Amino acid sequence: MDTKKISNESGIEIRPYYGSETSEIPGDFPYTRGIRNDMYRGRLWTMRQYAGFSTAEESNKRYHFLLGQGTMGLSVAFDLPTQIGYDSSHEFAEGEVGKVGVAIDSLKDFETLFDGIKLQDITTSMTINATASTLLAMYIVLAKKQGADLKMISGTIQNDILKEYAARGTYIYPPKQSMRLITDIFEFCSKEVPKWNTISISGYHIREAGSTAAQELAFTLANGKTYVQSALEKGLDINVFAKRLSFFFNAHNDIFEEVAKFRAARRMWANITKSLGATDPQAQMLRFHTQTGGSTLTAQQSENNIIRVTLQALSAVMGGTQSLHTNGFDEALSLPTESAARIALRTQQIIGYESGVTNSVDPLGGSYYVEALTDEIEKLAYSYIETIDAMGGSVAAIEQGYMQNEIAKSAYIYQKQIEKNEKAIVGVNKYVEKEINSTPLMKIDDSIRKVQIEKLDKLKLERDNAQVAVLLNKLSEAAKTNENLMPHIVNCVEAYCTLGEIADTLRLVFGEYQG
């Protein structure tokens, strides 16, 4: 029980939570009001800033800057070739190296990316899916090289391939083989890195693709059910692996709808995991990271985005998030500059230390409006999940195009509302001004690819290429069996096999998904 005494500026003591004797207590099943009874009174959410661009050297400088500004954890963005398993030298990588994230071709790049940063002292989130097994292996190998206790390192890999098929597109292998890699990671991490969150089941990209809040919640939890069921079929213990599942949600401008969505998510997941056999409270709790809505940002009057991000961050905090990234106001124009990243981080810090919203748990709980919205969003989300279950689950629903079509319909309706001025977007179709955009932009030079290719050429001259060939062959043979692939991928990474070589080895066995 929280016994800490907190008062506001008027000297009024703030209780941990409010409600009648019959109302739900925060920290109790089904966790609608929060997963801890003290929430931010005990500790604030982890303040992250999503960053990664150009080379490992440049991204490392940004990470040191962010840590110096008070960021509590790192969140790594990877470029498109890294996300879909191509080395920077591959012809398909041309024009994309280092553009939307950092280019990682091998353990050498990873060593540079975290130079001067002790992995045991921070938590790291990595937005990576199709090649999540390889990037996680790099993190583990680097942690070992730093002398870290692998039982203590913590962080998250996104590792959510189902939403890639439904909304985002950075997949490589067919669904069955992708699910095999994910459950291999579950099994491996439960033994080797037990504090690592093995998946971040993402609604963020579903929302970015145009879904409604209710669809974001429904499709994300439906995917979560599928991952749990796949792990159960592999014989894993839900009371062990479900503790390391996390979620990743979007936050848009309607504060009350977003808060209701987060509250409903906790309640629904607690009941879903219980129905699947979870008895440990830690395995029933929905923990989530939030990022403010990239698709809500406007190139017009871009400073307005600071207000949008503030509203969205407030909804995440009042909805009980465990971790938060706030977007830079310039992200409709380019990757965030250092100044924009600082403002985004300060937004979180001002909310955390100055706004007072952290003094009580579930501050909007008990509001007639928010309680009704929570119930209505839950009801609507369950109706989508029932449809997906009737189709045979998320994989079947994706293969039949159901999720994709529902998202596309919602995106179309929203866009038509903007075009008809039925939906106001300040600076776009309301209070429009003629302006010359003077926002400083961050540009990534195409010469980055040449730098990466030179590093790759040097690596291949210096490493033991005979050992590389042996280990890649072992990985190939293991992929043809039911053996867990993670130990083989770790061995390949340690020998400085490249990300593309590992992905290509699995491509030859698994094939590629033609969506």
**What per-residue string of b and e applies to 234-271 under the rule 16 or more CB within 10 Å gives b?**
bebebbbbbbbbbbbbbbbbebbbbbbbbbbbbbbbbe
**Paired strand residues for 247:** 201, 288
**What per-residue string of b and e applies to 65-84 under the rule 16 or more CB within 10 Å gives b?**
ebbeeebbbbbbbbbbbbbb
pLDDT of residue 22: 67
pLDDT of residue 21: 64
- 309: tokens are 């991000």
Contacts of 453 (CB under 8 A, 6+ apart): 88, 89
pLDDT of residue 444: 75
| Plot region of 265 (φ>0 → left; ψ -120 to 50 → alpha; else → beta) | alpha
Q: Which of 136, 138, 79 is nearest to 107 (CA)?
A: 138
- 292: tokens are 């403010």
Model confidence over 320-367: pLDDT tens digits?
999 999 999 999 998 899 899 999 999 999 999 999 999 999 999 999
Model confidence over 67-79: pLDDT tens digits?
999 888 888 999 9
pLDDT of residue 436: 78
What's the CA gap between 262 and 323, in Å, rounded?
13
- 272: tokens are 């879903």
Write the DSSP assignment of 357-391 as a string of letters.
Answer: TTSSSSTTTT-HHHHHHHHHHHHHHHHHHHHHHHH
How does strand 123-127 pair with strand 6-7? Answer: unpaired
What's the CA gap between 116 and 123, in Å, rounded?
15
- What is the helix (H) or strand (E) element at residue 106, kind and residue range? none
pLDDT of residue 440: 77
Q: Which of 120, 114, 197 is nearest to 156 (CA)?
A: 197
pLDDT of residue 116: 96
pLDDT of residue 454: 97
Helix ranges (H only) for 355-498 are 368-391, 394-399, 402-419, 448-462, 465-479, 486-494
For the chain, 515 residues long, the average pLDDT of each consecutive 10-residue run is: 86 90 88 96 91 90 92 90 97 94 96 96 94 98 97 95 94 95 96 95 97 98 97 95 96 98 98 98 97 97 97 98 96 91 96 97 95 98 98 95 97 97 96 83 82 97 98 98 98 98 98 89
pLDDT of residue 91: 96
Q: Is 312 exposed, middle or buried (0-12, 13-18, 19+ CB in 10 A)?
A: buried
**Paired strand residues for 123:** 73, 154
Three-state DSSP class for 335? Answer: strand
What's the CA gap between 351 and 318, in Å, rounded?
10
What's the CA gap between 492 and 499, in Å, rounded?
9
Count the neighbouring beta carbons within 10 Å of the beta carbon of residue 64: 13
Helix ranges (H only) for 50-174 are 56-68, 80-83, 107-113, 132-145, 162-163
How does strand 154-157 pair with strand 123-127? Answer: parallel
